[in-house]
Every structure is written in C-alpha cells, then in structure tokens.
Amino acid sequence: MRSQILGSLAALVVLNAGQTTTPTLHATPITPTPIRECKVTVSGDSIPIRAEPIIVNAQYTAGIGDSLSASFADSSKISVVKVVPTPGTPQAAQLTLGTSKAVPGVWGMTLKGTTGECMGKIKVAAGPIPVPTPAGAVRKP
C-alpha cells in the first residue's frame, strides 16, 4: 500500500514537472495619503504696477520649511526680487516683487519651501492705485 502511494505521488510529480504556474497576484488598493492643502494669501486687494519693486506681505496656511521662493506664470511678467520669512511671525513672508512689466489680471502664484509648497492668487491692478486721502483733508479737483 505504501509503495502504491509513493508511486502515485511520483507520477503526480512527473506529470506536474512540465507545467509552470504563475502565482496570482491580488492587488490591494492603496488609499493615497491626502495631500496637505496649503494656500497663500497676500495683503491688499491688488498690487500696483510700479517702476520700482514693491513689498507684499504673504501668509500661508501650513508650514513649508526654510529657503522660501516664489514664482508666478511667465505670462504675468511679475518678477521675484526677494522672498524673506517675516521675523517673529510663523507662516508669513515678505515678497519683494518687480511689477514694472506686470500684466494686469489675476495670476496664480506658488510659494515653495524645503518641505512643501502653497498656492494662491495675486491680482495686478490695471491702473494706478489711488493714494488714500488723510482724514479731514480736502481733496482738490
């Protein structure tokens, strides 16, 4: 009886020796980690077109690390002169921007750091920004 079992096993091994099987892989769906949304906002409703660089204060909603840089679409013609973290204020920076050739409109902007980036929008005013009149002053036409 034992020899019959061994013989049957040997026959099965010989029959299966020529067959190759590929293991079936079952893909397990991976749920991506949500990307941290970070938004950047700038002070004021819009920025002016000026011959000299202007300073704009920006705040962002999540930490993005050090070595900050800012960028705008090439077609905006906004140039970044300097980006400096605001001392003593977390998640804030001062942007020095060249707007002498800027194109009026609303433009996307990206603020990048060593550990992340934030997206936002900035509006370039179409005309000169009105100078506020001091309280009590009479404006002459």
pLDDT exceeds 60 at position 13: no
User: What pLDDT was estimated at residue 84?
Assistant: 95
**Looking at residues 46-55, what average pLDDT do you find?**
94
Hey, where are the domains in the chain? Answer: 39-124
User: What pLDDT was estimated at residue 138?
Assistant: 57
User: What pLDDT was estimated at residue 37?
Assistant: 79
Q: Which DSSP symbol is given to 63?
A: -
Amino acid at 8: S
Closest CA relative to residue 76, chosen from 49, 95, 45, 38: 49
What is the distance between the alpha carbons of residues 78 and 99, in angstroms, rounded to a whole number? 5
pLDDT exceeds 70 at position 20: no
**Long-range Cβ contact pairs of 94-98 (< 8 A, separation 24 or more):** 94/55, 94/56, 94/57, 94/58, 95/42, 95/55, 95/56, 95/57, 95/58, 95/70, 96/53, 96/54, 96/55, 96/56, 97/47, 97/53, 97/54, 97/55, 97/56, 98/53
Strands 39-42 and 117-124, by their bridges, are parallel
CATH number of 39-124: 2.60.40.10
User: What pLDDT was estimated at residue 66?
Assistant: 87
* Band of residue 32 on the pLDDT scale cut at 50, 70, 90: very low
